[in-house]
Amino acid sequence: MDRLDNTIRPYAWGSATAIPHLLGTEPTGEPQAEMWMGAHPGAPSRTDRGTLVEVIDAAPEKELGPAAVAKFGPRLPFLLKILAAGAPLSLQVHPDLEQAKEGYADEERRGVPVDAPHRNYKDANHKPELICALTEFDGLCGFRDPLAAAGLLDDLGVDSLKPYVDLLHAHPEDAALREVLTAILTADPEEMSRTVAEAAAACTRLGGAYAPYADIAHHYPGDPGVIAAMLLNRVRLQPGEALYLGAGVPHAYLNGLGVEIMANSDNVLRCGLTPKHVDVPELLRIVRFQPSDPGVLRPEASPDGEEVYETPIDEFRLSRYVLPEAGSAHDLTRATPQILLCAAGTVRAGEHDLTPGRSVFVPAGEKAEVSGTGTLFRATVVA
């Protein structure tokens, strides 16, 4: 069992205080957006045996187990994060596995450098993800019913939004949503900037359900993603609740602290709320234009105290243990690799005492006994 030393990424949208508060450290004054736990080559966790990439590369079957290597190859197939949003993240979608393979192969064939700003596919993998709230957590997830979106836009009283309102009343619903999102993202930039400014002023005046969009516009003035965001469901997670974000589902995180787990991929197609490249034709190929409920997940408890967040994919499996009292031990030994993350209290994992934000890597089959009082998240795979 290896204690992990993890990198914190200073993305501009990150909270300056949430991760330091969790860790019990002093804020630096700079944003601290994500703490990465895993073997992603961009920022692998460090152990006494080297980086987690080096540890796994040296003996993949020993560290990951034969079943995981046979199913996913000789690498850890998930990345675990603590995510602290102090401002809205970009509005985005992720491809499914087939789309990722096709897109990656196409860009490789065309010689697009992997670090080019306009590159869409950094790898050939999909990127399903799950966010579990540690505090109240605000986000956008999936398309609203088009008529509800039309009502939201219409009540702003902005004349330049009327064509979108009319389109959202058309049928079928998927075609209406596609046409409106296409129109928003391909509109004249100067005209859209004026529309966003008028819409932001109306959102500020109306407040209530419109307040989040005024805040989004404050961070991204003139960005067409402000209007696109109003097509999506707004959701507020309570601590312990989660969202699963599958392929093609547009989403954005707005504010809060959470534990995020995802397939080990960098593939993102952006829809707005970003200065980065937006490839509209490719985006429209990936987005699933289907109204849907956000589908808030609550963990399903098992007799041994494990609370599992059920998802339809195998690259990751997230669960938690709420340990009510010191002294009672749980055996978490498993034939697949694990990362154990303390989120509250103090948890003893093997020989390591974990306080909030601290984590360990447990190789496949390694004895993993935990005890203490607190909340422990367990990340592993289904193999």
Helix (H) or strand (E) holding 352: strand 352-354
Q: 213 is written with which tokens?
A: 């969009």
> 354 burial class (0-12, 13-18, 19+ CB within 10 angstroms)?
buried
Residue 130: strand pairing partners = 244, 261
270 catalytic? Reply is yes
Asked whether 142 and 161 are in contact (CB, 8 A), the reply is no
Please tell me which residue in 3, 234, 270, 317 is annotated as part of the active site.
270
3-state SS string over 111-132? CCCCCCCCCCCCCCCCCCEEEE
Q: Which residues contact 268 (CB under 8 A, 6 or more apart)?
A: 90, 92, 93, 94, 120, 127
Cα–Cα distance, 218 to 200 (Å, whole number):
8
Cα–Cα distance, 26 to 13 (Å, whole number):
19
Cα–Cα distance, 18 to 24 (Å, whole number):
10
Q: Which residues contact 260 (CB under 8 A, 6 or more apart)?
A: 34, 80, 81, 82, 83, 129, 130, 131, 132
Cα–Cα distance, 266 to 279 (Å, whole number):
16
Q: Which residues contact 324 (CB under 8 A, 6 or more apart)?
A: 373
Q: Which residue has the tokens 């978490």?
A: 332
Backbone phi, then psi, for 6, in 5-degree steps? -115, 150
**DSSP 8-class letter at 209:** G
Cα–Cα distance, 173 to 190 (Å, whole number):
29
**DSSP 8-class letter at 351:** T
Annotated active-site positions, please? 270
